Amino acid sequence: MLEIDPRSPVAINDQIKAGLKGLVAKGLLKPGDQAPSVRSLAVTLRVNPNTVARAFRELGQEGFLESRRGEGAYISDKGSRQAKDGFSDLKRALEEALKMARRGGLPWNEIESILRKARGDER
Amino acid sequence: MLEIDPRSPVAINDQIKAGLKGLVAKGLLKPGDQAPSVRSLAVTLRVNPNTVARAFRELGQEGFLESRRGEGAYISDKGSRQAKDGFSDLKRALEEALKMARRGGLPWNEIESILRKARGDER
Amino acid sequence: MLEIDPRSPVAINDQIKAGLKGLVAKGLLKPGDQAPSVRSLAVTLRVNPNTVARAFRELGQEGFLESRRGEGAYISDKGSRQAKDGFSDLKRALEEALKMARRGGLPWNEIESILRKARGDER
Amino acid sequence: MLEIDPRSPVAINDQIKAGLKGLVAKGLLKPGDQAPSVRSLAVTLRVNPNTVARAFRELGQEGFLESRRGEGAYISDKGSRQAKDGFSDLKRALEEALKMARRGGLPWNEIESILRKARGDER
DNA sequence: GTGGTCTAGACCACC
DNA sequence: GTGGTCTAGACCACG
């Protein structure tokens, strides 16, 4: 359901944040639904609970999650809007990568080939 | 000629390295040409000279630059091949960004729109 | 009669405790009166019965409530004194908030404006 | 310059955040200025560096600080506006405390007495 | 069981 | 020296 790549240069907690938002964007999780618990995620992702907790806290500050002590965390009503509407972090990251690639001289046809490959891998 | 974004999450020395390789890949700099001096780059890019020096040192270790004491640094013959051949760092970075974007639920049409926009901005 | 804010950072059971003491302090409930039942409170406040029960248990330990098995809970004679006398928790909380506000640079006139607004809202 | 109360129920990292914003709001720190380093703060406040780092990270996400790797953190241009303009966290916290105090039956004259006392203590 | 916080100690990359 | 991240383990309070 949620995948993490511990080798990725992207910080694990950021992967978790993006992953949760992704579940909402894809409709697998809806506003009002309970998010998986910090501890359960920590176990299934084989990650330190603190790392998951950090992601949850930050999502809470962003207004994407509403955490209730002793009860769990819930996707906030704002959640779905934010997740689909914005994508701002993801977009900026992609734009960054593209900008660097172009500055480094990576030609467009190579870039498109990478896109096609990624698209193919998904199926 | 060379652009750096100090706010980018990408390390400055990596931006410099990619930028120099890019100049070669684009044909603006050829094997045997003298690379800009560490000092001048530091000034024009408004960057710590240590950072530029580090980039040059690492490029030297890769065999992309040849530094001659008291004279400056030159693009090595291996340089151009390496620059175009490799791109491996840039490619991996792009693939990473794509993977994250997809996990975060960013739809393909958004991705393509970003691509088109980036392409348009270049002209 | 009793209001709770589930989103407040203040623990729900603390809100219930303060609320009951408040009813006494305001004279709406007097020593010897029967307190609302745990169940009814849980329903009207839309709160977990465990949480209400916990508040009652703690109020019992403080001597503010007297629980009679199978009958319900009553405001103890000590109750009213305690409620008015003490206020110690509330006072400390307010002092804390003030201290933080000042350390954070919130100017006194803003603080007074908040006071006035709160006072106006009550009427 | 910056004070922390380890016994306060307010989380230490939140105290640090409010404190830094306060320094800006009070004019002791201005946009562009370098903030004290994570490690130095950790030492002087007798707090774990991780706790300070957390505060810095969150301030960075809010756009109040700009952290540059290996260089330090700087008050962003948005910083001063945010700090003075908003105060939203502090205000909400105060309003919360007031609401609780009133629900708990703390009379207005007591509240005003606390205000006066706090004001006097500052001098 | 739930989330939240703090400490401690270790790495990493960068300047 | 700087900030950033992760792990590990311990508490706390709430439901």
Higher per-residue pLDDT: B27 or C84: B27
Higher per-residue pLDDT: A68 or A85: A68
- Short-list B68, B69, B79, B88, CA closest to B28: B79
Evaluate the CA torsion angle D7, D11, D13, D15 in order and state its sign: negative
Mean pLDDT of A58-79: 89
Residues 6+ apart with CB under 8 A from D108: C119
Residue A58: CB less than 7 A from any atom in strand F: no
Do A82 and A92 lie in one domain? The reply is no
Do B91 and B77 lie in one domain? The reply is no
Do A1 and A48 lie in one domain? The reply is yes
Do B101 and B120 lie in one domain? The reply is yes
Q: How confident is the model at residue B6 (pLDDT cuts 50, 70, 90)?
A: confident
pLDDT the model gives residue B53: 92
| Closest by Cβ to B22, choosing from A22, A87, A105 | A105
pLDDT the model gives residue D19: 93
| Nearest nucleotide, CA A59 to C1' | E3
The domain that holds D29 is classified in CATH as 1.10.10.10
- D73-101 per-position pLDDT tens digit: 999 987 667 666 668 888 888 988 898 88
Residue A117 forms contact with C (CB below 8 Å): no
Do B2 and B58 lie in one domain? The reply is yes
The pTM for the full model equals 0.86
- C11-68 per-position pLDDT tens digit: 888 899 888 888 888 888 888 889 999 988 998 898 888 899 999 988 888 888 888 8
Do D51 and D92 lie in one domain? The reply is no
Do A32 and A92 lie in one domain? The reply is no
Do B62 and B115 lie in one domain? The reply is no
Q: How far is CA A8 from CA A5, A115, B93, in A?
A: 5, 19, 10
Mean pLDDT of D92-114: 89
Mean pLDDT of D9-37: 92
Do D61 and D107 lie in one domain? The reply is no
Residue C77 forms contact with D (CB below 8 Å): no
pLDDT the model gives residue A85: 64
Do C18 and C40 lie in one domain? The reply is yes
Q: Which helix (H) or strand (E) holds A68?
A: strand A65-68
pLDDT the model gives residue C85: 60
Do D49 and D99 lie in one domain? The reply is no
CA dist B62 and A103 (Å) reads 19
Do A4 and A59 lie in one domain? The reply is yes
pLDDT the model gives residue C88: 80
Which of A12-26, A38-52, A76-90 shows the lowest per-residue confidence on average (mean pLDDT)?
A: A76-90
In chain D, the number of structural domains is: 2
- Short-list D26, D119, D103, D87, CA closest to C95: D119
Q: Which helix (H) or strand (E) holds D78?
A: helix D77-81
Q: Which domain holds residue C66?
A: 1-86
